[in-house]
Structure 1
Amino acid sequence: MQRAAQRDDRAHAQRARRLRRALVCAAAVPAVLITAACSSDSGDSKAKSGEESTRQSASGTSQPSASASPTVPAAAYQKLPEPCSALSKKTLTDLVPEGAKSGKKGSSDDPSARASCSWNSLDNNGVKGSQFRWLNISLLRFDSDAARGAGDDQAHAYYSQQVKDAQSVDGAKNARVVPLSGTGSEATTVRYDLKKKEGLFKQQTVVARVKNVVVTVDYNGAGLAGEKTPDADGMAKDAQKALKEVVSAVSSANGEGGGATSPTKDPASPSEPASASASASKSASKAPVKSASSGASPSKSAVEKS
């Protein structure tokens, strides 16, 4: 009996130990689940954070936005006047009296971008000699272009080059450069003497820019075979008068008036840096660097014509 009781006590003790272990394990399960749940939440947060970062990167909010494409203002003038009709009959009669009706239009692959016209006059006084005059006007228009810049800036650069070229003619003497006010956006007169075997030539080159168009007027004269040399001051005034008429014709061709007497302020005024850009339009890009009407400088062309 005593042994049986001892066996029963051992059995009860074993069952009690098994029950305690079961209870301990049962108590441990929720903690494991909680730990797993916390780990799962942490992973979800990290995943959501990663997704949010990806969305921000894709939307560009965390990266600098691309810069806007550069833009330039549209060119003000889109047309050029008929060059041989840009001067009045009276002006032509004063400047080239024997050749007022003999205007010769220069060739151009795009008359809306560049144009020119020239006149010759020989007033023969027999044994007293003769008076020779040569007049040429040329016009060059620049279009705005994102790569080359605004038409006004390109025109200013070309205008500056024209003035510089007029001062660099071989053999020129007594050169004078005089700014000309009241004509377009900016204007300059270049005067000099040039001795040739035929006589002493008085050369006047006046250049003006009106917005995106450059106008160049070349006017020279000489007294031949003993005739007296023409007055340079008078010729300069005549050339400036012609320039104002052509500038006014440019404005009128584009629906504006008063271009000859009212200076136009624009971004390419002389006080600002000149743009080094080349011609913008297709035709302007083909224009020679020294003259819109011929391959040589305007002054050289004038002398060759004489």
Structure 2
Amino acid sequence: MSEGTMQRAAQREVGVPPTPFRQWGRAPREERAPRAKRLNRVLVRAAAVPMVLLAAACSSSGSDSGSGDGARQTATQGAQDSASPSASPTVQAAAYAELPEACEVLSGKTLGELVPKGTKSAKKGSSSDLSARASCSWSSLDNNGVKGSQFRWLNVSLLRFESDASRGTGEEQAREYYQKQVDDARSVPDAKNTKAEPVSGTGNEATAVRYDLKKKEGAFKQQTVVARVENVVVTLDYNGAGLAGDRTPDADDLVKSAEKAAKEAVTAVAKANGAADGGSAPSASSSPSATTSPGKPASPSASASTSASASESAAKG
């Protein structure tokens, strides 16, 4: 065996490729495969770079557009909000904020004419808020023994209404209540000869209602004067009777006395709110608008209390 033949045999035994392959510049198949894979990966990555950049550019553009639209929408909404009117409702402020002391609305002279034997018999009505509702009553009995006696009973009720967004202005509420009081006085059960007539020079509006009421004690003459001054309603009840055979009092005299007393009570309301001469305080229509809270609206219990006073006047007779 020659030396060259022995060398080729030794190379095959250790797994070394024959020399001619390396001389031709070609690597074995096992070496070419990894190189091809690496090349493919490089090409794929190179192609992916423009796609990533394009996607990022599109995303950025869309984000900028959305941000612009959102900013414009926010600005438009803000302009609309600033241009929209306030949601807080307002009503005209009430003209009167206070009530006078109910037992002091009538002078001693007037009481001496209406209840001559009861000027010191004042009985103050109960109230949870004297600035919103108050009342006072007096009774008089001139007892002449077997010759009979003269009975008189007087009651003054004051009710003030506060402006409220849900109920309306104090004046509107007072106007409604005033009409209700007049209607109640004209519809007393078992009343006879009922008459109603307006009273001039007493507040913004006033009505006198009179009627006869027969009771076991005698024939009673009932007078009810309802007056409204701004946001306050004054209800004055006055009745008289001749008992134990005494003469029945004259209804015309009683109603004149009741009207005089009602006018005096209305004047007291105006004075309690700063009108030194007893005239009306500045009208609510001339005062600025105010946002009101449901501070002192007349409750149903207050209305019922005042109506009960009117009913009591007849019952006391």
Work out which of the two has the higher radius of gyration on C-alpha atoms and give 1 or 2. Answer: 2
How does 1:248-267 map onto structure 2 within 5 Å?
248-259=267-278
Structure 2 residue aligned with 1:58: 77
Aligned partners of 1:216 and 1:62: how far apart in 2?
49
| 1:164 Cα offset (Å) | 1.1
2:261 to 242, 262, 279: 242
TM-score, normalised by the number of residues in structure 1: 0.73
| 1:126 Cα offset (Å) | 2.1
Q: Is the 8 A contact 1:98 1:121 kept in 2?
A: yes
Aligned partners of 2:301 and 2:67: how far apart in 1?
63
Gaps of 5+ in 2: 1-60, 286-293
Equivalent AA in structure 1 for residue 255 of structure 2: A
Structure 1 residue aligned with 2:313: 302
Q: Is the 8 A contact 2:275 2:281 kept in 1?
A: no
Structure 1 residue aligned with 2:186: 167
Equivalent AA in structure 1 for residue 298 of structure 2: A
Structure 2 residue aligned with 1:217: 236
Structure 1 residue aligned with 2:110: 91
Richer in helix (by share): 2
Aligned partners of 2:154 and 2:65: how far apart in 1?
83
Structure 2 residue aligned with 1:4: none
Identity of aligned residues (%): 60
Structure 2 residue aligned with 1:154: 173
Aligned partners of 2:262 and 2:150: how far apart in 1?
22
Q: How many residues align?
A: 250
Aligned partners of 1:225 and 1:93: how far apart in 2?
23
Structure 2 residue aligned with 1:134: 153
Equivalent AA in structure 1 for residue 248 of structure 2: T
| 1:49 Cα offset (Å) | 7.9
**Structure 1 residue 82 corresponds to structure 2 residue 101:** yes
Deviations 1:9-62 (A, max 9, x none): xxxxxxxxxxxxxxxxxxxxxxxxxxxxxxxxx999987984675245322449
TM-score, normalised by the number of residues in structure 2: 0.71
Deviations 1:140-164 (A, max 9, x none): 1111112222111111111111111
Gaps of 5+ in 1: 1-41, 268-279
Aligned partners of 1:166 and 1:193: how far apart in 2?
12
1:285 to 299, 303, 311: 299
How does 1:113-132 map onto structure 2 within 5 Å?
113-132=132-151
Equivalent AA in structure 1 for residue 115 of structure 2: V
